[in-house]
Amino acid sequence: MYAQVLDSTLGSFAINVQLHTGFLVQHKPTMIALVTGHTKGIEVNAVKMVNGNRQWQRAFRMPDVGFSYCVFDVGNGVMGAAHAVYPFIGFRLIDKKHFDFNLRVGWGLGVVQNPFNRYDNFKNFAIGSYLNGVMALRADFQWAVSENSKLLASWGLTHWSNASTQTPNLGINVTTVGFGYQQIFGKKNKINTEPLSPHKIHWRKSVYAAAFFKEIYPADGKKYFVSTYSANMSKAVSRKNNWGFGVDVFYNASIRESLRRTGEMPTTLDAWRLGIHGNYMLTVEACDFLFENGVYLLGNLDDDPFLYTRMGIRYHIVKHWFVCGNLKTHFAKADFFEAGLGYEW
């Protein structure tokens, strides 16, 4: 309910609370044993009302931005409570006088109360760590009941994973519907409706190096060093959309251990992989949301598919330089996390 209807924001910030109910998704056959009841939860959100003073806000039709905290009883006594805190952006898809529909995405951190422990919690074979990454996707429906308040409904999926930094790591996925109330506070701000400056189509070239660690089964095993060296070219076809391609070199020390278990005698070179990828990046001011699909050219394991996927965020800290955090997967199975530093020109 912004520029298309009003000449000012409804306030400067809002607080909303939602109650959730749903279920733990059985994304693997072994997860069936962990589902003993329905998921229940509560969520509190702090939302900033943007007014279009930045061009990206106008380009995305005045999105909702804010921070979310939620806690879920996932539906069994083995895992306990699952907490999550993350920043989010809600992309406005429908904007009417008394009704809004947003697609909300968020990335952050989560805590699982009772992770796997081979001595006293061996039944939790879904997640092996207290601290995890969180990704949340949500469809948000908002109805205005007064100038400063809204009724809310939502449907979404929240995912906890440690990116194979600690086994087990089947991940936790809960899908819920939520119902709540939002109250708007603060002074109204005039909405900036200036036209966007012209966008010049151009190529973005970048390189980055990243590293982290991972575990492989059985649980509670050794941690192995992993790293990535990547070069990419993307064409910024609009202020928001970038399409590109690139080449990746991966080092994964756990590959040598996997080969030893099959009776082979691996060399140092066996830990290296070469791949090429195509990608899409969604640019939101200083952030790029990255989605890539790639194929291995050299060094693929028989147990792994020849395709890989990477999702992540780049944040441009100063001119040319960015930091990134990416999750590399084989289909829906996490391979490893990448924490990196890059240069773009």
DSSP string, 107-131: EEEEEESS--BTTTBTT--SB--SE
Q: What is the pLDDT of residue 256?
A: 92
Domain residues for the domain of 311 are 202-344
Structural domain includes residue 162 = yes
Structural domain includes residue 5 = no
pLDDT band at residue 91 under the 50/70/90 scheme: very high
- Percentage of the chain modeled with pLDDT above 90: 73
Final residue of a structural domain among 185, 218, 240: 185
Identify whether residues 181 and 207 lie together within a single domain.
Answer: no
Residue of higher predicted confidence among 95 and 212: 212
Identify whether residues 113 and 253 lie together within a single domain.
Answer: no
CATH of the domain at 242: 2.40.160
Who contacts 120 (Cβ-Cβ below 8 Å, separation ≥6)?
none
Identify whether residues 156 and 231 lie together within a single domain.
Answer: no
- Amino acid 91 reads F
Identify whether residues 125 and 267 lie together within a single domain.
Answer: no
Rg (CA), the chain: 22
Arithmetic mean of pLDDT, 116-129: 86
CB 126 within 8 A of CB 171: yes
Final residue of a structural domain among 185, 215, 250: 185
Identify whether residues 33 and 181 lie together within a single domain.
Answer: yes
Identify whether residues 179 and 209 lie together within a single domain.
Answer: no
Interatomic CA distance for residues 327 and 336, integer angstroms? 6
Structural domain includes residue 225 = yes
- Mean pLDDT highest for which of 8-12, 26-30, 123-127, 174-178? 174-178
Structural domain includes residue 1 = no
DSSP per position, 229-250: EEEEEEEE-SSSEEEEEEEEEE
Count of domains for the chain: 2
Q: What is the pLDDT of residue 2?
A: 43
Identify whether residues 211 and 169 lie together within a single domain.
Answer: no
Structural domain includes residue 240 = yes
| Ramachandran sector of residue 52 (left: φ over 0; alpha: ψ -120 to 50; beta: rest) | left
Q: What is the pTM of this model?
A: 0.90
Identify whether residues 206 and 181 lie together within a single domain.
Answer: no
Identify whether residues 68 and 160 lie together within a single domain.
Answer: yes
Identify whether residues 279 and 338 lie together within a single domain.
Answer: yes
Final residue of a structural domain among 127, 159, 185: 185
Structural domain includes residue 234 = yes
Identify whether residues 242 and 127 lie together within a single domain.
Answer: no
Identify whether residues 206 and 142 lie together within a single domain.
Answer: no
pLDDT band at residue 4 under the 50/70/90 scheme: very low
Residue 5 has pLDDT above 70, yes or no: no
Average pLDDT score, the chain: 92
